[in-house]
Structure 1
């Protein structure tokens, strides 16, 4: 499998994440000093000091939220691109995995089984899935802190549909008869999803030791294609020709 990753973007965002961490830490220290400045002086705070005192905590809070989000997306391990790559070991060497080139879609896979827009979740907690809605099994306090940090699981199915439509538009420019599919993949081995009702979009684990996982899904998809193709070799063909893949890359990378 060929891996095409926007390493420049990934490195840049990891650096930004580090800067945000230290910036947030500095803002919290500055906030403590500014808010308690009157304790160290006998002077009445002037207008500028009062403004700084009222602004420093909201700024520090916003920096904290942004820093946490950037950390989860760009610095947290396992890295999604690596987890997906490991989960797809054994896939046809004709396959191509694109990482961080097609935003809002972060991962795109072209393989004999089809074209897939992959939406990942980094969360390491337990969820139940019913009627297309994820519900965390954490206690109330943990849910409260998660809400404050804005780092909940969000709406994976909505994101997956947006991702599918975005890649479908790009594929339509190079091929008329290819239907893009979407996948939701949890990349952390500690994640657990109790599926109570079958979702319209597959929800998978990147970890091949968990089930359902990416490798199982691709194996089953290959079997279905083989059954549909009969004894022909169509099941092993790519959905796009080499020329179409090159055209797709030229237009989107």
Structure 2
């Protein structure tokens, strides 16, 4: 399998995450200092605390996605290791973060690192457990699953729009989406999911099976690969 990734973007965003986290600590510290020593400046202390909290959220997000190794792209690469050379994985080089192109077709991959019990029930994704820290972060939106099926649909639309500016509409193959849960401890129940969802260890075999069931020819994929170069 061939891997293409935007290393500059990864390094830049990792630095942004580090700087933002340090700035958050400084701003929060300033806010606490003002609140204890200059009570007449309470409004400024409150502003500093709100700003510091916002910066903390940005730092956590950027750090989890770009700062800590193994990053999501590294986990996906490890999960797909061993696929034949006809497969190409693109990280952060298109409107979608992770795109796999090969005999199994075109797949937008959306990774999730959440642990605990994940299930698709009554047309909604639900996350339970995962420990105190995950529960705390979930309150502030850092660990919630949201609506993955809608996010995938939006990413597919963005990718198709991006490609339509580079190749003819008829040359764009079917674009699929799937969810990958990268934490080994996650308990997943996704049988009712409208889109494929699986644990990382199942990803490679899933792609091999798709390639066997309905192989997409190199001739079909070549215009797309050229557009992505």
- TM bracket, shorter-chain basis: 0.7 to 0.9
User: What is the CA–CA distance in structure 2 between the aligned matches of 1:185 and 1:90, rounded to whole Å?
Assistant: 18
Q: CA deviation at 1:139?
A: 8.1
Question: What secondary structure is seen at the aligned counterpart in 2 of 1:93?
Answer: coil
TM-superposed CA distance for 1:24, in Å, is 1.3
- 1:24-35 pair list within 5 angstroms: 24-35=24-35
Residue aligning to 2:102? 111
Unmatched 5+ stretches in structure 2:
none
Q: What CA distance in whole angstroms lies between the structure 1 residues aligned with 2:149 and 2:114?
A: 15
Q: In 2, Cα distance between the equivalents of 1:66 and 1:241?
A: 37
> What is residue 156 of structure 2 aligned with on the other side?
164
Aligned to 1:174: 167
The answer to whether the 8 Å contact 1:96/1:110 transfers is yes
- What TM-score, normalized by structure 2, do the two folds share? 0.87
Query: Are 1:204 and 2:195 counterparts?
Result: no
Contact 1:88–1:214 (8 Å) recurs in 2 = yes
Structure 1 vs Structure 2 CA RMSD: 2.4
Which residue of structure 1 aligns with residue 228 of structure 2? 249
- More deviation in 166-175 or 29-38? 166-175
- C-alpha displacement at 1:51, in angstroms? 3.5
Check conservation: 1:119, 1:163, Cα contact below 8 A: no
Is the aligned partner of 1:221 residue 2:203? Answer: no
CA distance in 2, matches of 1:80, 1:4: 14
Range 166-175 or range 23-32, more displaced: 166-175
Aligned length: 225
Gaps of 5+ in 1: 39-43, 226-234
Give the equivalent residue in structure 2 for 1:52: 44
**Match in the other structure for 1:8:** 8
1:84 corresponds to 2:76 = yes
Q: Aligned pair in 2 of structure 1 residues 179, 78: CA closer, same or farther (>3 Å)? A: same
SS of 1:117's partner is strand
SS of the aligned residue for 2:3 comes to strand
1:62 — aligned with what?
A: 54
Deviations 1:109-152 (A, max 9, x none): 11011011111112123212224422112289767623432111
SS at match of 1:22: helix
Q: Is the contact made by 1:78 and 1:187 (CA closer than 8 Å) also made in structure 2?
A: no
| 1:125–1:140 CA distance, 2 compared to 1 (3 A) | closer
